[in-house]
């Protein structure tokens, strides 16, 4: 059996595309370059998702804070400042290209600082801050989609504003916008492909390096395509399962 | 305003504006401990807003409200603590759809356990048991023991409202506020909810009830308030209001609904 596959493999390598495949992935153990690139992309994506989600939640919180007539003045000012900050943040992030933001973070904001941050970490921050803006709007839409009566019921039972948000409103909000969140996460993972502009050794970087050695972009970029596809497929399967679980309570 | 011993709700000079809309135009009302007060009136008369002001779901624009001797309209009032003394039942039930019936009932008692006398002293294991036991007892009271593990989507309207009542009771309130509890129900489910409320009234709970169920109001309430255009136009014993109203507006309203 193994001999059969071995023959098949050898025959494949003797064809033209087999040879290209060999040059792109096998010779000099180049597959290692791709796998380490994939691992970097996964780590970068995970960082960006985490930062983005936390920042998104925080910005949602800032933009939804409201004062009433019993709010004391310092708190009122704080709330207003938060509202304005959230607005400006959204405006800037959504109004400028991501690639510019990434370069700004690396060369202008963090570069001159007397600290030595890896490009990977800088990219994680840049993508997280970017995605946070989009995610915060998704979260806000989700929270607004939950019936006001839910929060009222929570508050009428003596739960605090925060507990009501955390235990009652947010779980329903997330459920309502889960497909949109999945969408944003997927876009975010694919957008990490531009991290190469600041030298992050991700999948794209690996493909470029190999391409510059063999002068044939077909196999390296096909390889990159498959790798992105696998990562995103994995994520969407997780989201499918999650959605199914959350929808279980709707069955009559 | 002085605090009298048996008055549990004291409202004076209550005004509420929504923007420029003047919804409550000076409400004065005192509810005694154990009283059952029905609030009736045409839609848009401010009766729901009045009820919602009582537990600060709407913040009064002007006026004072004392609940159980505490002024809740002060800026520093501990709103959450005050709300724990009052259960509220909504027209649209507002059960938490992502939680089971049991969780709906136990969530708030569980989260507020340290601040409530009945559970503050108990150890972790014991308050869980205690809260669960009490939730089951409440489900038994509203006749839904078998639905403990169901989700709200699996219940009928009447069952949902009975769970909502159990949920409010789980906080051991001194006052129950009902905001048109049967208005969203199919006719055949109204009776089961009213029966639960009747039982509750029999146990001496203080109840304020906004309703369109005139028969129920006549039957259970000690006192009826008729509201129109932001005023309490008439108040009195149910027999008097329903059979011999003094005000013209009350008479014309009742002639349309009875």
Which residues in chain B have Cβ-Cβ distances shorter than 8 Å to A147? Answer: 92, 94
Mean pLDDT of chain B, nearest integer = 90
Residue A181 has pLDDT above 90, yes or no: yes
Look up residue B180 and give its DSSP letter: S
Average pLDDT over residues A12-26: 82
Which residues in chain A have Cβ-Cβ distances shorter than 8 Å to B164? Answer: 153
Which residues in chain B have Cβ-Cβ distances shorter than 8 Å to A157? Answer: 83-84, 87, 107-108, 167-168, 171
Q: Which residue out of A70, A71, A152, A157 would a mutagenesis test of the B interface target, given it has the greatest number of B Cβ atoms within 10 Å?
A: A157
How far B217 CA sits from the closest chain A CA (Å)?
24
A126 φ/ψ angles, rounded to the nearest 5 degrees: -60, -45
* Residue B5: CB atoms within 10 Å: 8
How far A236 CA sits from the closest chain B CA (Å)?
23
Q: Which residues pair with B175 in a beta bridge?
A: B86, B206
Q: Quickly list H helices, chain A.
A: 2-14, 16-21, 30-64, 73-95, 98-103, 119-145, 148-156, 161-163, 170-191, 203-214, 218-247
Verify whether the Cβ–Cβ distance A175 to B98 is below 8 Å. Answer: yes
Residue A149 has pLDDT above 80, yes or no: yes
Structure tokens at B32: 């005694």
Nearest to A249 among B86, B108, B151 (CB): B151
Q: Specify the pLDDT at position A70.
A: 76
Verify whether the Cβ–Cβ distance B88 to A252 is below 8 Å. Answer: no
Verify whether the Cβ–Cβ distance A153 to B171 is below 8 Å. Answer: no
- For residue A161, give every residue at least 6 positions away whose Cβ sits within 8 Å of its Cβ, in sequence order, or none: A155
Verify whether the Cβ–Cβ distance A70 to B55 is below 8 Å. Answer: no
Residue B2 has pLDDT above 50, yes or no: no
Q: Is A69 on the interface with B (CB under 8 A)?
A: yes
DSSP per-residue codes, A6-56:
HHHHHHHHHSHHHHHHIIIIIGGGHHHHHHHHHHHHHHHHHHHHHHHHHHH
Q: How far apart are CA B24 and CA B225, in angstroms?
A: 14
Verify whether the Cβ–Cβ distance A152 to B111 is below 8 Å. Answer: no
Residue B1 has pLDDT above 60, yes or no: no
Which residues in chain A have Cβ-Cβ distances shorter than 8 Å to B135? Answer: none
* Residue B227: CB atoms within 10 Å: 26
Residue B5 has pLDDT above 70, yes or no: no
The 10s digit of each residue's pLDDT in B143-158 is 999 999 999 999 999 9
Q: How far apart are CA A242 and CA A194, in angstroms?
A: 29
Q: How far apart are CA B168 and CA B29, in angstroms?
A: 24
The 10s digit of each residue's pLDDT in B53-70 is 999 999 999 999 999 888
- For residue A114, give every residue at least 6 positions away whose Cβ sits within 8 Å of its Cβ, in sequence order, or none: none
Q: How far apart are CA B56 and CA B78, in angstroms?
A: 11
Q: Specify the pLDDT at position B121.
A: 65
How far B248 CA sits from the closest chain A CA (Å)?
35
Q: Which residue of A has its CA nearest to B106?
A: A157
Average pLDDT over residues A138-153: 96
Task: Determine the length of chain A.
Answer: 252
Q: Specify the pLDDT at position B258.
A: 79
Q: How far apart are CA B232 and CA A243, in angstroms?
A: 50
Q: Specify the pLDDT at position B119.
A: 62
Q: Specify the pLDDT at position B3.
A: 42
How far A121 CA sits from the closest chain B CA (Å)?
37
Residue B236 Rama label (left phi>0; alpha psi -120 to 50; beta):
left
Average pLDDT over residues A121-138: 95
Task: For residue B252, name the pLDDT band (cuts at 50, 70, 90).
Answer: very high
C-alpha dihedral over B174, B178, B179, B181, to 10 degrees?
A: 150
∠ Cα A63 A66 A72 (to 5°): 130
Q: Is B168 on the interface with A (CB under 8 A)?
A: yes
Q: Which residue of B has its CA nearest to A148?
A: B94
Average pLDDT over residues A163-173: 94
Q: Which residue of A has its CA nearest to B170?
A: A157
Contact yes or no for A201/A36 (Cβ under 8 A): yes
Verify whether the Cβ–Cβ distance A153 to B80 is below 8 Å. Answer: no
Q: Is B151 on the interface with A (CB under 8 A)?
A: yes
* Residue A54: CB atoms within 10 Å: 13
Contact yes or no for B185/B197 (Cβ under 8 A): no
Q: How far apart are CA A174 and CA A141, in angstroms?
A: 10
How far A197 CA sits from the closest chain B CA (Å)?
44
ipTM for the complex? 0.89
Nearest to A167 among B61, B107, B167 (CB): B107
Q: Specify the pLDDT at position A19.
A: 82
Q: Specify the pLDDT at position A250.
A: 82
Verify whether the Cβ–Cβ distance B108 to A147 is below 8 Å. Answer: no
Percent of chain B with pLDDT over 70: 94
Which residues in chain B have Cβ-Cβ distances shorter than 8 Å to A72? Answer: 75
Q: Specify the pLDDT at position A15.
A: 81
Mean pLDDT of chain A, nearest integer = 91
Please give the model's pTM, rounded to 2 decimal places.
Answer: 0.86
């Amino acid at each position: 059996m193994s001999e059969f596959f071995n023959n098949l493999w050898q025959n494949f390598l003797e064809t033209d595309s087999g040879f290209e495949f060999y040059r792109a992935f096998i010779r000099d153990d180049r597959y290692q370059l791709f796998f380490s690139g994939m691992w970097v992309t996964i780590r970068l994506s995970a960082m960006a998702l985490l930062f983005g989600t936390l920042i998104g939640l925080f910005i949602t919180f800032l933009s939804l804070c409201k004062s009433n007539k019993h709010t004391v003045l310092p708190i009122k000012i704080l709330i207003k400042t938060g509202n304005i900050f959230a607005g400006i943040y959204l405006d800037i992030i959504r109004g400028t290209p991501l690639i510019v933001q990434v370069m700004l973070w690396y060369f202008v904001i963090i570069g001159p600082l007397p600290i030595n941050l890896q490009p990977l970490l800088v990219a994680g921050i840049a993508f997280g801050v970017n995605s946070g803006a989009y995610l915060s709007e998704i979260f806000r839409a989700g929270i607004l989609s939950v019936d006001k009566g839910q929060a009222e019921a929570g508050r009428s039972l003596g739960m605090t504003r925060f507990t009501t948000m955390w235990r009652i409103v947010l779980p329903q909000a997330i459920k309502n916008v889960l497909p949109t969140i999945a969408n944003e996460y997927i876009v975010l993972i694919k957008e990490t492909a531009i991290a190469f502009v600041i030298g992050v050794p991700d999948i794209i970087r690996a493909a470029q390096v190999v391409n510059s050695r063999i002068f044939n972009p077909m196999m390296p970029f096909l390889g990159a395509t498959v790798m992105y596809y696998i990562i995103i497929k994995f994520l969407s399967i997780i989201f499918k399962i999650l959605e199914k679980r959350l929808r279980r309570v709707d069955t009559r | 305003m002085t605090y009298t011993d048996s008055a549990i709700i004291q409202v004076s000079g209550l005004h509420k504006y929504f923007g420029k809309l003047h919804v409550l135009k000076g409400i004065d009302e005192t509810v005694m401990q154990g009283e059952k007060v029905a609030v009736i009136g045409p839609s848009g008369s401010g009766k729901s807003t009045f009820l919602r002001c009582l537990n600060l779901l709407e913040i009064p624009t002007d006026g004072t409200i004392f609940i159980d001797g505490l002024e809740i309209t002060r800026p520093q009032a501990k709103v959450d603590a005050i709300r724990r003394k009052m259960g509220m039942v909504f027209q649209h039930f507002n059960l938490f759809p992502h939680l089971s019936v049991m969780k709906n009932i136990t969530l708030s008692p569980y989260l507020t356990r340290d601040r409530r006398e009945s559970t503050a002293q108990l150890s972790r294991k014991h308050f869980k048991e205690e809260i669960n036991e009490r939730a089951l007892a409440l489900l038994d009271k509203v006749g839904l023991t078998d639905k403990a593990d169901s989700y709200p989507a699996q219940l009928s309207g009447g069952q949902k409202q009975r769970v909502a009542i159990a949920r409010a009771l789980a906080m051991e309130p001194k006052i129950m506020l009902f905001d048109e509890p049967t208005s969203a129900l199919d006719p055949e489910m109204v009776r089961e909810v009213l029966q639960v409320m009747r039982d509750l009234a029999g146990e001496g709970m203080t109840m304020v009830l906004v309703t369109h169920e005139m028969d129920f109001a006549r039957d259970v309430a000690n006192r009826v308030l008729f509201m129109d255009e932001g005023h309490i136009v008439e108040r009195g014993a149910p027999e008097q209001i329903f059979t011999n109203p003094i005000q013209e507006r009350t008479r014309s309203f009742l002639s349309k609904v009875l």
